[in-house]
Amino acid sequence: MTISSRPLAGLKVLDFGHTIMGPCAGVVFADLGADVVKIEPVDGDPTRRLPGFAAGFFATYNRNKRSIAIDLKRPEGQAIVHRLVRDADVVLENFGPGTIERLKCSWEELRQINPRLVYLSMKGFLKGPYENRGALDEVVQMQSGLAYMTGPPGRPLRAGAPVIDILGGVFGVVAALSALRERDATGIGQKVASSLFESATFMLGALVVGSAVTGGPMPPMPARKNAWGVYDVFTASDGGQVFIGCTSDGHWQRFCETFGFDDWRDDPRLAGNSRRCEAREWMLPELERRITKLPLDEILQKCEAARVAYSRVGRPDELSIDPHLLAHGGLLATAVSGLGGGPLVGIPALPVEFGDGRERAGLDRQPPKIGEHAHEILSAAGYSEQEIIELRAAGVLGAAASTPA
């Protein structure tokens, strides 16, 4: 990673995050060069051991971090955090309502130790009647209407990725960086917050406006009235699927020329997008019949030649071999075992570039083992060798904490 792609170098972040939203905020800070210390339970972040759909959570959202495992229910563990926060710039947490207060690591307590601290709290809801409710990504997808919009009528369906957790984490970073910018002027930190529910509602703002403009609720995406004549998924002769979108008259003309649909190119019934939309009832079945005669590779080649919007319908596992992502640092070879080590998998990098060289944020540290960096973190905070030994012996530090080199 070059200097230009480490804009947050020098920032110190204490990351109490768990599951996705908190760790996602932490990994954004870490990928951009901040020193992020992950504070996890003595037996490790539970996402290290999650199965099935969640098996990749830990590796994806905890790279480039250092780890210390602390029993925060004990005063000795809380005292460690209170010492670490003295020179921290940001603390982030996404515990359920009331938890961080019980652990003596709330904003009110930590600000007394470090008035320059920016404290990022990520919850289910911002201020209002719901603020003390617990929430999950899927809960707010249902509550906000995102699931209603995603599935067919009467069958609400969550998105196929934890989009709200991720967006809530990224908005949290935006809020924290804004507070750090203000601290540059005032010298004083502040508490900031992001949330799942409000992140979901932000995504749906245009649909709120659309409902007001049209005078009725927007139908779910599978039942929507399409805004373009060709904006659909088609099946090839070999079973592959492709999405094709013709969103302008130029697209339509080139599409017809390249695919040999000369009879449609000058058909007055298909002249202009509005007429193509009106013709969808008869045009789409015929287009499907024509497209399905061709193998997938030929369809893709023709779409590329026609310069229309298109894509093969892919699967997430295929991203690890995607030639575009492989070409310029878009994938980071990451150890995927939540307990340390394990096979290396190309995980998508932070989706930003820096400088004229278009540098991507890279991988400096593999996802840490439980408490892997406890000794170096505590030594830097002024703990003596004997104190560290005693904390480990007393079980205040996780059993897997690293020993000095």
Mean pLDDT of all residues in the chain? 93
SS3 202: helix
Q: Is the pLDDT of residue 55 over 50?
A: yes
60 pLDDT tier (thresholds 50, 70, 90): very high
Could you tell me which CATH number the domain at 3-203+328-393 has?
3.40.50.10540
Strands (E), 88-159: 90-93, 118-123
Which architecture does CATH list for 226-313? Answer: 2-Layer Sandwich (3.30)
Q: Nearest-CA neighbor of 19 among 48, 51, 52?
A: 48
**For residue 399, what pLDDT is reported?**
56
Q: Which residues have C-beta within 8 Å of that of residue 7, sequence separation ≥ 6?
A: 32, 33, 354
Q: Is the pLDDT of residue 94 over 60?
A: yes
Domain with CATH 3.40.50.10540 in the chain: 3-203+328-393
Q: What angle do CA 228, 231, 236 make, to 5 degrees?
A: 150
High-pLDDT (> 70) share of the chain, %: 97
**For residue 9, what pLDDT is reported?**
95
Q: Is the pLDDT of residue 64 over 60?
A: yes
CB atoms within 10 A of CB 370: 24
pLDDT digits (tens, 9 = 90+) for 185-242: 999 999 999 999 999 999 999 999 999 999 999 999 888 878 899 999 999 999 999 9
What is the bridge-based pairing of β-strands 12-15 and 90-93?
Answer: parallel
Q: Is the pLDDT of residue 403 over 80?
A: no
Strands (E), 149-229: 191-195
Min mean pLDDT across 149-163, 234-248, 249-263, 331-345 is at 331-345
**For residue 357, what pLDDT is reported?**
83
Q: Is the pLDDT of residue 404 over 70?
A: no
Domain with CATH 3.30.1540.10 in the chain: 226-313
